Structure 1
Amino acid sequence: MENINILSKPHITMALFRVETKYEDRLVNIVAKLSKGKYFIVDILGINAFFNSHVLLLEIDNSKALGKLFYKIGVMFNEELNDVVPKIFISKAPHMTISKVKNKAMLDD
């Protein structure tokens, strides 16, 4: 198989932020709490790409369950990391990244 230089594994981006590694334990604690929530189904609406950032993605439904999870993320970060994470971006366009590749030409193939 040809090496296609994939830069990212599949995932759903929920939030973007910066935090120093010395606060990793606090971050792991938040993720552990979130992982105890009830599972839910994610409906796939279509396939798309962010060509500027070389990302192939699945568009997913912004369901009530997903909205609750986004809300919980915001609340937990505000309560437990507000002193070390000055700004958090919660995704308003949920999507599932299939892969991020080195260049746009790889998405065109």
Structure 2
Amino acid sequence: MSLMLIVQARQDIFMLTRPKIYNLRIVPPEPVYTDVTDFKKVFIEHYGKQPLSASKPHITLAVFQMLPYCQDTLVKTFDSLSEVPEFRLEVKSFGVFDGSAKVLLLKIPMSETMGQLHMQIRILWERDLHRKKNTLIVPSIPHMTISKVKDAAILYKALERFQNTPYYASFLVDHLVLTARPPSKTWDWSHKISLKSE
């Protein structure tokens, strides 16, 4: 066995034994996707590039860590969400999180369907994947991030600017996306989960 193959094999083993960060998300369809991308560009033009200002538009349903060799099991487990019927979501104006995480965002009103989806994700996590409840992060306030900021003054200037542009949209959620990345890297894997059409 050549030295190159040995080095590659060691790298492969190392990658399989380091947890990846997974994100189960809703990706909005057009034209909402482009609208949110444009809002992010406007933010960058006025306030500079900030954390998450260049991220792709999405609504996070769950975040967790898992070893990559479990990925096939994850896919099989979360594919059971394909029994969830398609549903509509609304995007209603701009808002902020102003605690330790300062975030400019688009508000997504919590609906009964979103609440049920969160519950199903938690059940799959504990019952089917046999994971502890506290190792799954399910955001309690649905939203789409425009950008994180470090300075509260910038956060409120940005909110004032964006609130001058009222925004409302409604779209059909017909699939979910499971994505993964190594820590401190970009998303390098994704899997689409189609929802049940009515």
Fold in common (TM above 0.5): yes
TM normalised by structure 1 equals: 0.71
State the superposition RMSD in angstroms: 2.9
Which of 14, 34, 43 does residue 90 from structure 2 map onto?
43
CA distance 1:83–1:72, shift in 2 (3 Å): closer
Q: Work out which of the two has the higher radius of gyration on C-alpha atoms and give 1 or 2.
A: 2
Q: Secondary structure of 1:89's partner?
A: coil
Q: Aligned pair 1:63/2:111, yes or no?
A: yes
Which stretch of the first structure deviates more once superposed, 62-71 or 43-52?
43-52
CA distance in 1, matches of 2:110, 2:133: 25
Residue in 2 aligned with 1:34? 81
Higher relative contact order (CA 8 A, sep 6+): 1
Residue in 2 aligned with 1:74? 122
CA distance in 1, matches of 2:58, 2:125: 20
CA distance in 1, matches of 2:147, 2:70: 27
CA offset digits 1:71-93 (Å, max 9, x no partner): 11011111222248862122222
CA offset digits 1:38-68 (Å, max 9, x no partner): 1111122331233554543211111111111
Runs (5+) with no aligned partner, structure 1:
none
Which stretch of the first structure deviates more once superposed, 54-63 or 78-87?
78-87
Residue in 1 aligned with 2:33? none
CA distance in 1, matches of 2:129, 2:75: 11
Shift of 1:106: 7.5
CA distance in 1, matches of 2:137, 2:75: 18
Q: Which amino acid aligns with 2:137?
A: F
CA distance in 1, matches of 2:133, 2:112: 26
TM normalised by structure 2 equals: 0.44
Q: Secondary structure of 1:48's partner?
A: strand
Runs (5+) with no aligned partner, structure 2:
1-40, 159-198
CA distance 1:39–1:29, shift in 2 (3 Å): same
Q: Aligned pair 1:21/2:61, yes or no?
A: no
Q: Which amino acid aligns with 2:110?
A: N
